[in-house]
Structure 1
Amino acid sequence: LLAKAKAPDGRPGFVFSLTPEGGVHDPLRDTYGHAFVLLALATVYSLDRDAQVRAEIDALLSFLDSQLRSPHGGFQEGLPPSMPRRQNPQMHLFEAMIACFDATHDLSFQNRAGDFFALFLANLYDKQTRVLGEYFEEDWSRIPPVSVEPGHLAEWVWLLKGFERITGCPTGRPRGELLASALRYRDATGCLIDEGDAEGNIRRHSRRLWPQSELAKAWIAQAESGEAGAADEARAALVLLERHYLSHPVAGGWYDQFDREGRSLVATIPASSFYHVLCAVTEAEQVLA
């Protein structure tokens, strides 16, 4: 990653994608992508505190601050900037800042995570409808009709628990509200669907794998907080994940998405889902075992 994707064209930051041969496929500096590079660097740094890796973390933060920070709060979509703005890159940067604090115990990462928590409360989360919007104007005003991805509601539950753990800032109320909202968007199988609206209606009846793993993580976070019955709900969510998605003819493989009739919509096994599966299993092992 550092050898091939970091500034191969002489410009700072990491390119979005590479060719199979290691050349530049897409030179976009994608904020969502940089969040995961930062998460990776934090994970590697936590292993052996390598000073070079810490320098890479600081260089990436400097790039984000100087090139991608938005005057309206949070960070642009990428370089070049694009619209609409999405909550998703901000969510994963929040995750990366929590991971950086865990790896370094540098208090500046508490402050950086706090900036994203403030953005969540002020702009991303609607306290009236108790849902998280996906798409926004430049100034974080919502783009109607509001799109809601219940998997992201669940993912924020887990992340807010992580923020509470590193700062002591209570997040129980928004966690409870987000989880209750997420649970409105389930089909007859008990799985979360892909997209709904702010009123709790289903917009897309398809259901991907990753929201189910995030629902399990949300319940695990609530179990860690001592919420009655949450551990049983987490185990039930993991059973659904196993039954519908992980019972695949390829050992260790998974189905990625089903339609409302339960037919598989994706013939391949997308690697992006592996992050979600592994994270859910890791959390379950730490909290439920």
Structure 2
Amino acid sequence: MPELPEMETYRNLLARIVVGQKILEVQVQREKTVNVPVDEFISKVQNSTITAVNRRAKHLLFHLDNGYTLLLHLMLDGWMFYGTEEEKPDRSTQVVLTFGTNSLYFIGLRLGYLHLLDEKQLQDRLSDYGPEPFDPRLDEERFHHLLKRRRAVLKPTLVDQKILAGIGNCYADEFCFHAGILPYRKTADLTEADTTRLLHAMRFILNDGMRHGGYMEFPLYAGDTLTGGYNDQCRVYDRGGEPCLQCGQPIVQEELASRKVFYCTHCQH
């Protein structure tokens, strides 16, 4: 599932491409992808202009000049492509926004969605999310108390969107490894030194993920060489049984709270 670096990569690229563009045509090819009747969705989105593209947690927010926002969640298999019909990958699309010769194709939204919300609906939908990892108010002391008060296992706590917004399986494993902390540690047992190290590791890894374009498999547009560049940077995630790049010991793959988890027992304690 795309996490903060993937959605930030999309946000940065799309902000340069679609902001200020008028949506000339809307196609909805899967009714369940949207939250209102298709005719209503089309009538409110078509002929509107995208004024900004923002991110909150794992969502993208396409703000329209008529006061509505398109709230996107890609879930497990979703992705996007911007370009012409001829350039578009041979995949089924659920929603298409056309700006002229180019369109933004929403692909693989089997579980994902693109919802049309007014301002109040948007605020209500996002109200339960925890702080963003780069929130300047999330200092070392607040982060320590945020984790300690849960009295739970570390990795499920890190990926709980009500505690921290935007973190998922991949990056949680990566910054636990970078901090040298096992993902199944109890949060109540973490020292201030542990949580400080984890906070700095989290921000370092997320910045690195964004710098390399996240791990999305498909480019956003023809000639996009940024998206997906983090695939080869992962130190532990999805590397079960392979040698640790630091010590050579095999990376452990297990399940923790119904999620895959990857770690090195030599480098993490």
Give TM-score scaled by structure 1 length: 0.29
TM-score scaled by structure 2? 0.31
Flag the structure with higher strand content: 2
By relative contact order (CA 8 Å, sep 6+), the higher-ranking structure is 2
